[in-house]
A and B are shown apart, each in its own frame.
Chain A
Amino acid sequence: MARPKLEPKKHRRLPISDKVFKIGATLAGVYVLLMIALLVFQLVSESYPIWEEEGLSFIVGTDWNAVEDRESFGALPYILGTLVTAALAMAIGVPLSLGIAMFISDAPAKIGGPLGFLVELLAAVPSVIYGLWGLFVFRIYFKDWIEIPLHNTFGDSIWLFSGKPFGLDIITASVILAIMIIPTVSAVSREVMKAVPQQQKEAAYMLGATKWEMFRLAVFPYSKTGLIGASILGLGRAVGETMAVTMLIGNATGIAAIPSSFFKPSQTMSSIIANEFVEASPASLHLPALIGVALVLLLVAIVINVIAHILVTRMLKVKEGAINN
């Protein structure tokens, strides 16, 4: 007997209040897209004069002078300063974070829980308090215990350690940045490591692996993408960080800000904005120049974060697939 044919029924019309609700929710969702578009548009249009005036030399120039009639804006030193401090912060912070993630992902909950919680608390401390602590506490110890011995030992032979250690320099800012990215990188890495299927770990143990070998054989290869993503996420944070860096990097301007040694004051894109924005007059090119710096900073941050998010999401998707199978 043939089945009664199902008539494609016309959808019941939504009550008007539900329509309004749906439209409202959609608009709120679209708000973020709108804000991004408006943000990019504003930065581009307000920094337009500087691109017109300086062209490409805004990015590759090293001269930064806001004095009237001698105006010249080249942001290269700050771009380099941002990249160098962020890279150093990664070099210090990422290995530490991976160690923390290994410890916490594997420790019994009684120890791992509280320790992970303490590491996460690092994220709750405001940037400006890191700056204050760095300025009045950390800088002093760091200078006396690390910078001066390094300088005395290697200062003459290796250019990285030349210059007079003063505590307000690239390396101090980078170490503080490293501390600030640890909670992000370790939390995401931990999630990623936890996503490794238990069977893989057990298989490694069954082959007679020690704990370290288990990580090397089962965890790292499986979670590589996610760990790289987590590190890049940390890089994104380090690039955008403002207050602590502004307070500790020594704030050189122009060609003096080009990073050439650990013990040299420098400047990052965000710190030059924080330092000069209030004094910049909207009538001169100074304000467009700072907005241009912000545009470059935003583009760098977007690229980094998009890559990081794609890597981490891909990794965590693999996890869901693995569990369901």
Chain B
Amino acid sequence: MTTTLERRQEYRALFKSNVAKRLVVDKVVRIIVFACVIIAIIPLGSILVEVFKNGIAAISFEFLTETPGAIGSGEGGIGPAIQGTLIIIGLASLIGVPIGVMSGIYLAEYGDNKLARSIRFFNDVFMEFPSIVLGIFAFLVIVLILGHFSVWAGAFALSLIMFPIVARTTEESLKMVPITYREAGTALGLKKWIITFRIVISAAKSGMITGILLSISRIGGETAPLIMTILGSSQFFSSMDVPMDALPLRIWRLSLLPYDSAQLQGWGSALVLIIIILGINLGVRYYFANKKGNGIIGRLIKAGVTRQK
């Protein structure tokens, strides 16, 4: 059985047309896929360029330190907002970090049972709760009961966003510490909590710091939960029991005003906020990131924690 010369020619033509078509499809898909990447990066570039271009004109010493002037006057600054953001990040960390770290220790060191598995699951789901709902929760349990707006309510709301992130990153970094470290501690006759705090945590330090800083950069940009907890104000911080300002809130308020000067100040505030947040984010990645992508940052992404709301 041999094919005739004509048949062979026919096959060859078929094969050629088939391969050519497949190669074309492949090329087209490659181009589309690359275009996807470019399309996604354009907004990032545009945001950064616009924020820097428009914001830099607003920045001055007065702008960074003074209280806001009369609406639409274009005077004054965002001093209280910067101060408020720092205060609320500090207070939220005060609540969120210890709980998150202890919870992470529980998951890593005692986390091999049913309770821990459900905690891990609900922790992940809690991380995805709409932040505005957490703000309402803080409003209901603190503001409504105290009867006035309170800085603690805002800090509590942000700590709720923070602690699951810290818990998961702590767990992941503690798990990367080799079991032999713990065995060495046990062999020395140390108590479990001393082993955990002195040996395991010091070995897992960089991962934990990464998680804490990333969670700080995340809550620093949160706006929604602050609307119903610290409300916004144009005065510097005076007491825990009165409304306070924060940068994201100030940006929101300014964007709603129909004046060019307010718009300019809005860009200026956005520049300050983005410098703080991207500064922390980039700094963390630069210093701690494992370049292979399966280090702590990769694990964070897998845990889905690097998203702003």
Contact = CB atoms under 8 A, between A and B. Distances in A.
Contact of A21 (B137, B193, B273): B193
Contacts of A219: none
Interface in A12-66: 14-15, 17-18, 20-22, 24-33, 35-36, 38-39, 42-43, 46
A188 B103 contact: no
Contacts of A95: 36
A183 interface: yes
B266 A120 contact: no
A274 B101 CA distance: 31
Given A103-B37, A130-B47, A188-B304, A270 B224 contact: yes
A125 B47 contact: yes
Interface in B270-297: 270, 273-274, 277-278, 281, 285, 291, 293
A183 B307 CA distance: 8
B10 interface: no
A297 interface: yes
A132 B251 contact: yes
B259 interface: no
Contacts of B30: 211-212
B118 to A, nearest CB: 7
B106 interface: yes
A149 interface: no
A38 B221 contact: no
B128 A237 contact: yes
B40 A119 contact: yes
B26 A128 contact: no
Contacts of B176: none
Interface string B12-45: 0000000000110110011011111101110110
Contacts of B266: 132
B291 A113 contact: yes
Interface stretch (B65-73, B119-127, B204-212): B119-127
B136 A127 contact: no
A252 B111 CA distance: 48
B306 A120 contact: yes
A25 B167 CA distance: 11
A184 interface: yes
Nearest to A181: B307
A253 interface: no
Contact of A123 (B25, B47, B267, B306): B306
Interface residue range, chain B: 35 or more
A221 interface: no
Nearest to B44: A122
A298 B100 CA distance: 22
A15 B191 contact: yes
B131 A17 contact: no
A203 interface: no
B150 interface: no
A26 B228 contact: no
Interface of B: 22-23, 25-26, 29-30, 32-37, 39-41, 43-44, 46-47, 50-51, 54, 98-103, 105-107, 109-111, 115-116, 118-119, 121-126, 128-134, 136-137, 139-141, 144, 160, 163-164, 167, 191-193, 196, 217, 220-224, 227-228, 231, 248, 251-252, 255, 263, 266-267, 270, 273-274, 277-278, 281, 285, 291, 293, 298, 301-302, 304, 306-309
7 nearest CB pairs, A to B = A126-B221, A99-B36, A240-B130, A28-B102, A21-B193, A29-B106, A25-B106
Given A136-B267, A316-B302, 18 more contacts: A18-B193, A21-B192, A26-B106, A28-B101, A29-B102, A29-B103, A31-B163, A39-B133, A43-B133, A119-B37, A126-B222, A129-B51, A133-B43, A133-B46, A138-B43, A179-B40, A242-B130, A274-B224
30 contacts: A15-B191, A22-B110, A25-B106, A29-B107, A32-B164, A95-B36, A99-B32, A103-B33, A123-B308, A124-B281, A129-B274, A132-B251, A132-B255, A132-B270, A133-B46, A133-B50, A136-B54, A136-B263, A137-B50, A138-B46, A184-B307, A187-B304, A187-B306, A211-B30, A242-B131, A270-B130, A270-B224, A277-B139, A297-B130, A301-B129
